[in-house]
A and B are shown apart, each in its own frame.
Chain A
């Protein structure tokens, strides 16, 4: 976390997005409108915020409680009354088809982890090129990639499936991994972030010193872009972890399923055998724990200004 990302939490006296790169170095400006007179806490706004927070936490609280109940308790005891079956549920889940659930978890980590690393790299390269160089076809290329945002996933997924089948790649890890590497939104953020974080003078200085373009990118640009790259990584990780349609269409063998598709099939079977419901619920809880943990850890590294930059242009 270098100070290069303009300090996120401080209300600035001047609009942030257009600020010349480099000037945001140094200590954060004294907070202009920050708590001059705390006075008494405003009751109504606080109550509204807390209500919103409770609403958002409700299903998560429920899944926490429900995962402690046995199958019978689930339907007979009051929703928010905890049971004592969490250990049993966990054991059942682990035992389900020789630990298939853990396999789904590992698959999700694999798809989302590797996919997000590759996606961030591609976005960084493309964003840097679009921000730093003037060349023919620059805007055309950028607009072409951006139009991908509008493309409904299903119009892509059907022909992607057929083309993958043509290449004998359906039902492989690659069929889920490859189509998700290029993210229009990632390229967009990469460009915005490169524009804001990399002073051209530094690039020129690198050239004067005889560094090649690739070396300048790796040694100068990547470190300066790193707070933004963390954001792109997180966006991509969450997007791939949450993805359902593509793996649902591409994969037939449930050993290769990510968490989302695995839990969906489990729920579908559960419609016939409600005994599986406790597995689904325990599985759902375990599936959101790593994401929430990741989210809480990375949250503090987020440069909120990046998002505002994205909004402004």
Chain B
């Protein structure tokens, strides 16, 4: 037989771990923000195409970015102007077509995409296509001496490398050194060839699989930049990234890949001049807004289950409701761990809920006014020797009258806050008055004030715990944390140690 204490521990551990795990998963993998004011960067990357027409039917095709690890695409939007705009899904990604029957003017076309960096984001349909077509068949363009030079360079590089990746590194190094070999110089002297095209031609000769990675650094204020072209070389089980200027690099974290593969980013027909440029602007957006919208749009099954999926009126009800366990936890702590006596077990939570609606100061003021005038009325009623139920009912009616009078008077005086008092649960107030006066009669003013004071102290503590943006955010966005609260309540429920107030109560005993 497992002892009940052990069972309690196990259940509490299990609950706490489940709650924390789900919350952790949401934070780390779904990017749900932990704090309500957590700001996240959203970059707007705009591809801008400047066009000059020829009068013939015009078409512009732009390759579009696909999902990629570490970058979440929030929105895409194209602007076509007078052009028609369609997108086509090809086997190497999406293609955007802008088309027009006749075009002879200058024009600008835009395609905007909004992304946010998310380090651990892993898209399901990541494009991993490798373009293996021998794109650089140089044999017909290069003469014999150039071919010999190329063979020499490759021989050297092959000897001084271990695999495809290090060979590519070696090649780029040879082209970028301050004192290139004669063979390199000969190739560099060729017209219309750049380091990039030469390196790729050599890699193609060597039958090494590579692809261009074109994209842009996500930095605020980039205007009209050309796409950065990097080289990705496929190794045995991983690939290496290269910059044609600096050799092997790691892909920068804020590098947004626009297109993968060796085909051109943009192709045109019937266009005299076309120029593709990129701009980047950064905006800081409250993370909670971001993820809320994301959750709903993405249709993530897990998050579809969240409270954000409810209509907003129900959401607001739940926002209140989910705070109650926090208040209950405060009561548990104050009663069991500290040992403050309160009037009724959860009366303080109800007080706190009322204070949230009225604000603390005006709520407390109302409480004092209504309870003290209620006590006076009730002491008179007790002289009338009414039966219990009738007496409480009478107190309720009197409390409502006091509240009405206060509301009218304060409205005339222009104090709006008092109007909110109508939310103050009058039944609770009436019961407080009734119980307090009974306690007063039987156990004296001291006991009655101790208990009411204790209730107010706990209510104020619960108010601060509940009326707190961070707590509101956590309870609503991470309802699974209720399990953690439950675990804490269960654990405190088995606490058999001393209460803090007992350190005073039993002091004369232990001191002797």
A and B: bona fide binding partners: no
Q: Which residues of B contact A (CB under 8 A)?
A: none
